[in-house]
A and B are shown apart, each in its own frame.
Chain A
């Protein structure tokens, strides 16, 4: 059952006041402009046992994504397509407020929103990944471990998934006598587009991008918008207990397109290294 709760991170009144004051002047406590993202860094191939991996740092938020490729049965209703499964776990290493155990609703939402961004943009051409249509297909798992949290896990995790998929090498499977043979060869994943999510938070009447944990603890509402390489919107998720008006949604959607393209160029640039 979903229940309203207090933010686990408590921000002192004085600090809140400082934040509001700064934001009303168009600046944030860490010196960023309202629409400025934190520095993004991507390390590829850090896990040799995975078919693809990426460690992404967005400010102090850190996520490691690993791709594992297997064969298995297709999903019901998608018999002629490969299967792509994205999961996310906030590790107990990530902050003093995380305890081990089954995922809570926020983690489930995180994994589902990241999954939706990748799936709905059709980033991977799953039609190419059926081995015996209806029976055996490629199954691509992208598992994300959040190792440190400082806000905006949606975007950080999404960038990690996208980077890991862009750099991953699929084993080439062949079918001989109805059995799957690993030929030992590898090929790149069939990437068709690069989805990029941008998360905005509303604090009072101001909209800020890429909120930190502290800003998330003070925000009224949150929205995550994913665009693909064509600049089309492929996934949206509004979160937190406040609301947006129509004009705010319009301006955030335009920001998500512009900033999304900047991040996309950056991801392209960073994932080219190591090829």
Chain B
């Protein structure tokens, strides 16, 4: 990828004013879709994503059902108005692939064997897209699954790291994704130390690869705290009291 301008200035400040280890602003709200069994809304930088979970419910068509576990179905979709130029609402090949990797990132956390012959549907709708929408989508989806009361082994938390101007930085934004050197989205189960999504495009040396992965995992751990607070806020009311009690 050719770089047209400096994306990090002499002081180490990025195009959007962040340092190398700083996440974008993240806001998560739980239970935003009234009809859904579980739902979440996330603002992750300029990403605005709504996730609704339906199920466990009956599988249609019935032959799709699995006798020993639940079918997890996942749709990642971008609204036509979510991007700079209008996006055709029909599912693109990119969306098909992302739907698949999101499903595979969520599945290891879910106790699907608890709901044989049923289906759980996860709908990830990107209302406004910035860089890292798949990570934001996974982060919100696992909160929505928890909100739906699905049995889970852990929460899934996701974050990207990448290379910009030959430096490894946390949480790549849209400009850095398009003009930077590498982008590595990671999804992580923080308590089980399991990596459930790992992708990379760009070029990284062996040292950079490991630095990038560790940075992304640290980002995931910070995002986990935000997910936890969002869930506590809905189920225990005031978030601050709960935290004080635990500490």
Contact = CB atoms under 8 A, between A and B. Distances in A.
Nearest to B205: A232
A230 B203 CA distance: 10
A3 B73 contact: yes
B108 A105 contact: no
A240 B104 contact: yes
A139 interface: no
Interface residues of A, number: 42
B26 interface: no
Given A108-B97, A233-B203, A241-B107, A4 B195 contact: no
Contacts of B227: none
A109 interface: yes
A38 interface: no
B109 to A, nearest CB: 9
Interface string A113-130: 000100111100000000
Contacts, number: 128
Contacts of B107: 4, 241
Interface of A: 1-6, 77, 105-106, 108-109, 111-112, 116, 119-122, 223, 228, 230-246, 249-250, 253-254, 257
B100 A105 contact: yes
A232 to B, nearest CB: 5
Chain A interface, >50% SS class: mixed
Contact of B199 (A6, A111, A238, A246): A238
A239 B204 contact: no
Residue with the greatest number of chain A CB neighbours at <10 A, chosen from B99, B104, B184: B104
B194 interface: yes
Kindly state the interface size class of chain B when it binds its partner: 35 or more
A274 B69 CA distance: 53
Nearest to A6: B66
A109 B96 CA distance: 8
A77 B184 CA distance: 22
Contacts of A241: 103-104, 107-108
A233 B200 contact: yes
B225 to A, nearest CB: 20
Nearest to A243: B194
A109 B66 contact: no
B64 interface: yes
Nearest to B91: A1
